[in-house]
Chain A
Amino acid sequence: DTAVSQTPKYLVTQMGNDKSIKCEQNLGHDTMYWYKQDSKKFLKIMFSYNNKELIINETVPNRFSPKSPDKAHLNLHINSLELGDSAVYFCASSPSLTGPQHFGDGTRLSIL
């Protein structure tokens, strides 16, 4: 069973479109995250939710909006996609705010 699963794995779309990436974890963790990994492999936290409550909202354009319908899900919606949004987006979860994180397989977003 996949612990942290995100869909889709690949997302190719045009500039200006709106898209969503879904994330689900079956580990019973309280905390979930979204990270962006750029072409140089640099990983940066975007959002963190703990028990459905937004904990961290880094300096991310407000075109990015996370939604956590329940503890097991944290979806990422992106409006008006731009070329610079091309990256791999990783979802992660952890049992606590300071514990080890379990990562999903990533979603490779390519903007044409």
Chain B
Amino acid sequence: AQSVSQHNHHVILSEAASLELGCNYSYGGTVNLFWYVQYPGQHLQLLLKYFSGDPLVKGIKGFEAEFIKSKFSFNLRKPSVQWSDTAEYFCAVIGSMDTGRRALTFGSGTRLQVQP
């Protein structure tokens, strides 16, 4: 069974600080990886995704993530956070093979709080 671990449950940063949120997954095959963001009281929005190719993917709002296959990791980064980045961040994985479990498995989420 696939699983996703987000080790940082609650992160507090000051504006302009750099951000890195950890995501590790376990799955015995090729995966598609996602980061979603949920602003307070809103629905989940896709930040970025990795299917194949360049392991460094860029998403919206200045976010990027790096897929390191050997470490089963897909960490999210942003060089300089803003107060408006305060939100819950979810890493998610799905097996890209047809025989894989055909549903996203979400991590438990990381609450990011950016202080002005």
Given the contacts A98-B32, A100-B34, A48 and B102 also touching, CB distance less than 8 Å:
yes
Q: B95: which A residues are within 8 A, CB to CB?
A: 98
**Residue A101 contacts which of B38, B104, B109 (CB distance < 8 angstroms)?**
B104
Q: When the two chains form their complex, are residues A97 and B102 in contact, meaning their CB atoms are under 8 A apart?
A: yes
Residues on the B chain within 8 Å of A106, using CB: 43
A-B interface contact total, Cβ < 8 Å: 56
Residue-wise interface mask of B (71-100) relative to A, using a CB-CB cutoff of 8 A (1 in contact, 0 not): 000000000000000001010001110101
How would residues 99 to 116 of chain B score, 1 for a CB under 8 Å from any chain A CB and 0 otherwise? 011111110110100000
User: Size band of the A side of the interface?
Assistant: 20 to 34
Q: Report the separation of the CA atoms of residues A101 and B93 in the bound assembly, to the nearest whole angstrom.
A: 12
A48's closest neighbor in chain B, by CB?
B103
Does A66 interact with chain B (Cβ within 8 Å)? no
Given that A48-B102, A103-B44 are known contacts, is A98 also in contact with B90, CB under 8 Å in the complex?
A: no
Contact at A103–B102, with CB atoms within 8 Å? no
Contact with B along A84-111 (1 / 0, CB 8 A): 0000001010000111111111100000
A112 on the B face (CB < 8 A): no
Q: How far is the CA of A42 from the CA of B38 in the complex (A)?
A: 12
Contacts A56-B103, A98-B32 given: A43-B90 contact, CB under 8 Å? Answer: yes
Check if B8 is an interface residue, CB within 8 A of chain A.
no
Chain B residue, CB-CB nearest to A47:
B103
Closest 5 CB pairs of A and B: A97-B102, A43-B106, A103-B44, A103-B43, A45-B103
